[in-house]
Chains A and B, each alone.
Chain A
């Protein structure tokens, strides 16, 4: 079946531009997660949704980062006024249920390069 889909696969932005990254979770999955992965590092948690509610945004690095999931399905991660330190792979994951016994399934990410 279809997995988690992310678009675009690659994004190049000039410093100061705004970007929007899209995540299509697995159909019917209640929970959705965003992660940031710098080169050579493990993924780091950014934020989490259960349906349309954003229940945890403790990992968002600054107020330039904003995520939404208005209808409880597709999610968008927006980064305003991009900086070079925002260059990373942004991963989205979904989970059938928001419990610790329900595995997360990841997409292949969007690689963002800020020049």
Chain B
């Protein structure tokens, strides 16, 4: 399975953009990059996913490098409610679509 590497923790000021990096240097051409977050005492929440192109939705933007070996999740205007653990996951086909979670990045948004 392709693995991901994320910093264990990051801080961000409220109202500023939060840029969360992820390395996935062994990713294969047909594997998607997914981002989830988990707020304390809740289940993981789907944020966004992509294959090759950059993606944007109402929650965030996903920037994938041209070689697909790394990506960045961007929360454009972080709020205190964005404080959570953020997981970057490479999802392989032909495995039932299961997600393999790592340790994630603990993002703290500070006033």
Residues of A within 8 A of B (CB): 4, 31, 33, 35, 41-45, 48, 50, 55-56, 91, 93, 95, 98-109
Residues of chain B touching chain A, judged by Cβ–Cβ distance below 8 Å, are: 30-32, 34, 41-46, 49, 51, 85, 87, 91-93, 95-104
Is A104's CB under 8 angstroms from B45's CB?
Answer: no
Number of A-B contacts (CB under 8 A): 65
Q: Which B residues are CB-close (under 8 A) to A41?
A: 103
Residues of chain A within 8 A of B95, CB atoms compared? 56
Instruction: Please name all residues of chain A whose beta carbon is closer than 8 Å to the beta carbon of B51 when the two chains form the complex.
Output: 101
CA distance A15 to B110 in the complex (A): 42
Interchain CA distance A44-B100 in the complex, whole Å: 7
Q: Can you list 24 A-B contacts (CB < 8 A)?
A: A33-B99, A42-B102, A43-B99, A43-B101, A44-B101, A45-B98, A45-B99, A93-B43, A93-B44, A95-B97, A98-B96, A98-B97, A100-B30, A100-B91, A101-B32, A101-B49, A102-B97, A103-B49, A104-B46, A105-B46, A106-B44, A106-B46, A108-B41, A108-B43
A31 to B91, CA, bound (A): 15
Q: How far is the CA of A42 from the CA of B85 in the complex (A)?
A: 9
List the B side residues contacting A108 at CB < 8 Å: 41-43
Tell me, rounded to whole Å, the shortest Cβ–Cβ distance linking A76 to chain B: 18
Chain B, Cβ-Cβ closest to A56:
B96
Q: Residues of B contacting A56 with CB < 8 Å?
A: 95-96, 98
